[in-house]
Structure 1
Amino acid sequence: MQICSSHDGRIHAKNPRAAGCIAGISFIMIDNMNIIVSVFALLLLMVLTACTPPQKNIGVPPLQVVSAVDLQRYAGTWYEIAHYPNSFQRGCVATTANYAALLTGKIRVVNTCRKERLDGDIISAEGKAWVVDPKTNAKLKVSFFWPFSGDYWIIELGENYDYAVVGHPDRKYLWILSRTPFMDSARYADILSRLQKTHSYDTRKLVRTLQPD
């Protein structure tokens, strides 16, 4: 099964069953028999989300991002190592995200996963991202369905761009990413420690992502 998207960020599918969201971006689940209903539900969800006031973390300092991101070095494929559970990634394994610079100055985002199993159906979605904090390039917005977008904040980044941690200003989302499908236990433990002490994240909520050998 192949699911593909046009460069305008809209999702198109060949024999569509599902399209979704990875590494901070929402998946759109589309069933062959309920395309219209699914699109309506998506629009309703986005409207409700847009109208919901941001959550307040009383007593928690504002989330800090890294001091600088070289977007050329950040481009390429990232493997999801762990994430906060969310409805739009339910059932996803072997999750990856690919970023590529566009001539418009925006970033092409392609998120992919397998459904339920490592040999399951491929789920893919394409969108666009853009920088909202040019001083650091660490705060971005990502959209898979214009005009709706979500926050994508880079809060940890390896010196060699070999790992990254993406968060949300309200701390309701979290993703740990790596350039390889696996991360050694010492590095993972160090990241968890910084998430707890520096970023006030509850790392007990993290779920490890199954990746192929």
Structure 2
Amino acid sequence: MLAACGGNRVKDPIPPVPQVDVERFMGDWYVIAQIPTRLEREAYDSVETYTLREDGKVDTTFRYRDGGFDEKIKTLHPVGTMREGTGNAIWGMQFVWPIKAEYVIVYLDEDYQQTIVGRSKRDYVWLMARTPAIPEADYAAHIARIRALGYDVSKIRRVPQSAAGASRPVEAPATP
């Protein structure tokens, strides 16, 4: 994720959703698929957890296993800051001071169960859900959305997720 911290000077900003109810957005989000940063190339069981602070910033815990389900869980703790005037849809995600990576909520379903987070550079994207797996029809619709936003969807990687309470992992089908 640190690689996502580069400059954000882009002629064609990625369009955010009009409004995000931040309190509803808080909690756990499983990473279903992504165009990964260097740290996420072989991530398994990736989960982002957001917690709203009293000062309006968002404490984030990113948990993942690097290379397989049997690997030790690694964590990162960036802090999100919502940009004023964006309906809480554009954040600066700070992994290292003073750099804030662009974090744009480009899709959010009305039930706050599935979301897509992107960047104007179209270099990284994250499809996330409240559950470790989503229906294939939803996945296909999200890939179409990501493509329409200007991403090269051939770079998308499905993130293998362990099923909660199951004895074996949820299989990650090949990328379209």
Return the TM-score normalized by structure 1.
Answer: 0.71
Give the Cα separation in 2 of the matches to 1:145 and 1:127.
8
Alpha-carbon deviations, 1:21-41, whole Å to 9, x = none? xxxx438xxxxxxxxxxxxxx
**What's 2:157 paired with?**
207
**What's 2:122 paired with?**
171
**Any idea what SS the aligned residue of 1:172 has?**
coil
Give the Cα separation in 1 of the matches to 2:38 and 2:120.
19
State the AA in 1 paired with 2:72.
D
State the AA in 2 paired with 1:146.
W
**What's 2:140 paired with?**
189
Give the Cα separation in 2 of the matches to 1:139 and 1:93.
26
Does the Cα contact within 8 Å between 1:110 and 1:124 map onto a contact in 2? yes
Give the Cα separation in 1 of the matches to 2:22 and 2:104.
13
**What's 1:26 paired with?**
2
Does the Cα contact within 8 Å between 2:31 and 2:132 map onto a contact in 1? yes
Give the Cα separation in 1 of the matches to 2:114 and 2:49.
14
Give the Cα separation in 1 of the matches to 2:152 and 2:41.
20
Alpha-carbon deviations, 1:35-84, whole Å to 9, x = none? xxxxxxxxxx97xx45xx7466xxxx531110110000000000000010
Give the Cα separation in 1 of the matches to 2:119 and 2:86.
18
**Identical columns (%):** 28
Alpha-carbon deviations, 1:71-116, whole Å to 9, x = none? 0000000000001032121332110000001011111010000121
| Residue 105 of structure 2, aligned match among 154, 157, 169 | 154
Aligned length: 163
Does the Cα contact within 8 Å between 2:83 and 2:91 map onto a contact in 1? yes
The structure where strand makes up a greater share of residues is 2
| Residue 88 of structure 1, aligned match among 39, 54, 58 | 39
* Structure 2, unpaired ranges of 5+: 164-176
Give the Cα separation in 2 of the matches to 1:71 and 1:26.
24
1:49-128 alignment runs, 5 A limit: 49-50=6-7, 54=9, 61-128=12-79
State the AA in 2 paired with 1:26.
L
Q: CA deviation at 1:156?
A: 0.5
* Structure 1, unpaired ranges of 5+: 1-24, 28-44
Using a 3 Å threshold, how does the CA distance of structure 1 residues 85 and 107 change in structure 2: closer, same or farther?
Answer: closer
Give the Cα separation in 1 of the matches to 2:10 and 2:54.
35
Alpha-carbon deviations, 1:138-182, whole Å to 9, x = none? 000011221121000000001100000000011111110000000
